[in-house]
Homo-oligomer: A and B are copies of this chain.
């Protein structure tokens, strides 16, 4: 039996589900998507999709079911507090077809925070964990998130979510990190679009993004971001882009 050679670097993917009416009404401006996107990129996980859905059980279940079969991991934020509008745990239990029960481990965590007097009904809501779920501790608030299957359920409050993500990150499978290289073009996007597209065609294993911005000193300008898992491909594509930019600049009227 021969050893299998697998030249494809492992790719670990994720979907993100942001749950909350307040984000869709614009009352609260989401701060979690950008943070999680950058965090996952830095540990070698590709965020492939994010969705924001309202506090409606059916919407949460549908989005979860669409994403959890598609990606290695799904992260959710929001909807795990003590009030009637916190229905994320209910929706996750429903998606997985398991009962949602007050979990003694979660009760113990909450009692560390709120004292040994019996927890009221609202706080007990925060101890409801779908059967088979593992708690996600956090150092900021007492209330845990949880993991079930490939789904990680986290708080919506940014500093609590961040503490949970730190807790979870070491347990995640990570892939080969995408490397990136940024080049400031000192040219307008429309002046480099055609040759840049030709370079993109020559390097199919490399993603080349072009991001226009307004430069106070020079006016319209462009950042080119080259991304690849392969450092030598990345370097070759970057060199091709630099050579193209030098040529464009040389042809520019003085």
Binding site for B on A (CB under 8 A): 21-30, 33-41, 46-55, 59, 81-86, 114, 120-123, 125-126, 157, 178, 180, 189-194, 196-197, 200-201, 207-213, 225, 227
Number of copies: 2
Contact B52 A49 (CB under 8 A): yes
- Chain B residues in 8 Å Cβ range of A178: 25
* Docked pose: A82 CA to B59 CA in angstroms: 36
Contact B24 A48 (CB under 8 A): yes
- Chain B residues in 8 Å Cβ range of A51: 49-52
The residue in chain B whose Cβ has the minimal distance to the Cβ of A14 is: B24
- Chain B residues in 8 Å Cβ range of A52: 33, 49-51
Contact A209 B34 (CB under 8 A): no
| Most chain B CB atoms below 10 A, which of A83, A189, A192 | A83
* Docked pose: A133 CA to B228 CA in angstroms: 36
* Docked pose: A208 CA to B25 CA in angstroms: 13
- Chain B residues in 8 Å Cβ range of A30: 33-34
Contact B209 A21 (CB under 8 A): yes
